[in-house]
Amino acid sequence: MKQFPLVLLATTTLAISSTADIHPAQAETCVAASSCREQSVKFVPGQRITVEVANLTSSVIKLQQVDVTDPLPVSPGQVLSFVRGGNTNPNFSAVLWDTQGLPLNVNIRKPEARVLRIEVLPSGRSPGVRAVYLQDDGRVEVM
């Protein structure tokens, strides 16, 4: 019976020392878009979708659908919405920039099956995001 506490102490010491080399998990925020993996957003090729562009910056941004529109101003807090896709205009391609020349970042969301939401945010890194493209295979690429 006197050996029981000694065995228990030795077992506990062995268990503690074997876990001493385990490093705790650390959570960090993504600072650069290149260091964060976003889940891929994908649509059915040729499917008609609603594109929402939400300006979440504090300045006016410009949005231009390549070969479709002239640059459109989007005020802070404004959400611009339009329909793209189908047989007549299968792809969506847009360039965006801050009117003050500040770098931008975007979050790409798919809140519903046929909705592409582009949330435009300020970025701390230059040059930032400049374009969003809906590829032929239905994937959304941010450049």
Domain extents for the chain?
49-142
Rounded Cα–Cα distance for residues 10 and 28 (Å): 37
State CA 42 to chain mean position distance: 13
The answer to whether the bond into 127 is cis (omega within 30° of 0) is yes
Residue 141: pLDDT over 90 = yes
Q: Over the stretch 51-99, which tens digit does the pLDDT of each residue have?
A: 999 999 999 999 998 888 899 999 999 999 988 877 666 677 899 999 9
Q: Over the stretch 7-56, which tens digit does the pLDDT of each residue have?
A: 444 444 444 444 444 433 333 444 444 445 455 899 888 889 999 999 99
Query: What is the b/e burial string over 96-110, where b = at least 16 CB atoms within 10 angstroms of the residue's CB?
Result: bbbeeebebbbebbb
- Predicted confidence at residue 39, as pLDDT, reads 57
Rounded Cα–Cα distance for residues 90 and 102 (Å): 31
For 49-142, CATH gives 2.60.40
Q: Is this structure's pTM higher than 0.75?
A: no
Pair 131, 93: CB distance under 8 Å: yes
Give the burial class of 70: count Cβ atoms within 10 A of its Cβ; 0-12 exposed, 13-18 middle, 19 or more buried: exposed
Rounded Cα–Cα distance for residues 137 and 120 (Å): 24
